[in-house]
Amino acid sequence: MKQNRIFNFNAGPAALPTPVLEEIRESFLNIAGSGMSVTEISHRSKIFDDIINEAIERTKRLLKLKDNFKVLFIQGGASLQFIMAPMNFLSDNKTADYINTGTWATKAIAQAEFLKKDINIAASSADKNFSYIPKQFNLGKNSAYLHITSNNTIKGTQWDKFPDTGGVPLIADMSSDIMSRVINAEKFGLIYAGAQKNIGPAGVCLAIVREDMLSEIPDNLPPMLNYSVYSDKKSLYNTPPCFGIYVIGLVLKWLEETIGGLEKMEEINRKKANLLYNLLDSGEFYKGTAQKDSRSKMNVTFRLPNEELEQKFVAQAMENNLGGLKGHRSVGGCRASIYNAATIESVETLASFMKEFETKNG
């Protein structure tokens, strides 16, 4: 008989911490003694002002952001950021550099090209089916920024160390590994992350902009596509995704107060990933798709000997309360997304199932 909740390895929308879901359930009909749900209160109210300010302050503490960083909440997901970043930061007399490491980087490049901007592909791992993170890159002349995708959900690769740009602003799509490890935020001019993979529900994107970047923004942008407007209006130019911001705040509270910060979260994530990668490396039945020095600690991608076995693996895993293990439709195979909310117990249970499945089908 199935348990009420499965171990959720979906890539996004993905698992949320159980204590966060329980807190949402307990307070949903009556937030902060208001007699209303968080989905009903005014975004101009004192209650919501406290909610968004707490989310901002927790973001700053967890990432050790200095006062020169603005924390913004924007609708449209990371996909909107693909075009917002070049609209705001790539003037006609400059070049933008992109490192292409797979699907989401490719989409970001396409949006910059849609604007008919000057784009330079500084490096790419397309030559080996995006199975690795490039070690070398070449910046174009008069570069406005270098854009990277910090973690690649589909191909299962991740930047271990971020590139040294020599003063050129670094922009990163961190949708799938934001808040999973300690980073040096000073390296970045812009960090953006769709919430639905690692910090909250779908519908809101966290953007962190270094203040000096705002001076580069042209005056003729529509307000809803202008980072300065979000900064000046504290993400309240229009009605923001209130529920999503509320949940992000709760997830950050869980990270800070229950887990103990990003140092501890990084340690846990490394342990989870090692459990699965050690298993992949222990025999011939499972084969990881990412090169070992580029492996993601968030998305473990692997193949079985044939597609028939992969389908059987996914189906039997679901029968054992292990969900979301089918690989992305564009590449097939299998994938375990082990974001922050995935517990060590869930990964241990998955590893045990994988060993059993190999014994029966190997």
pLDDT in tens, 226-251: 999 999 999 999 999 999 999 999 99
Averaged over successive runs of 10 residues, the pLDDT of the chain (362 residues) comes to 80 97 97 97 97 98 97 97 98 95 98 95 98 96 96 98 95 98 96 98 98 95 98 97 98 98 98 98 97 98 98 98 96 97 98 98 92
User: Which residues on adjacent β-strands are paired with residue 96?
Assistant: 119, 145
CATH of 22-258, one of 2.40.50.140, 3.40.50.720, 3.40.309.10, 3.40.640.10: 3.40.640.10
Nearest CA among 213, 172, 212, 215 for reference residue 193: 172
Q: Are 165 and 139 in contact (CB under 8 A)?
A: yes
Report the distance separating Cα 43 and Cα 45, nearest Å: 6
Tell me where in the chain the CATH 3.90.1150.10 domain(s) lie: 261-361
- Per the structure block, which two tokens stand in for 7? 């171990």
Treating both helix axes as pointing N-terminal to C-terminal, what angle do 262-280 and 344-361 enclose, rounded to 10 degrees?
0
Identify the three-state secondary structure at position 142. coil
Predicted local confidence at residue 362, as pLDDT? 87
Q: Which residues are catalytic?
A: 104, 173, 197
CATH of 261-361, one of 3.90.1560.10, 3.30.565.10, 3.90.1150.10, 3.40.190.10: 3.90.1150.10
226: amino acid identity, one letter: N
Treating both helix axes as pointing N-terminal to C-terminal, what angle do 46-63 and 242-253 enclose, rounded to 10 degrees?
40
Convert the pLDDT of each residue in 78-102 to its tens digit.
999 999 999 999 998 999 999 999 9
Predicted local confidence at residue 1, as pLDDT? 38
Distances (CA, A) of 264 to 161, 179, 255, 303: 19, 11, 9, 30
Predicted local confidence at residue 99, as pLDDT? 98
Tell me where in the chain the CATH 3.40.640.10 domain(s) lie: 22-258
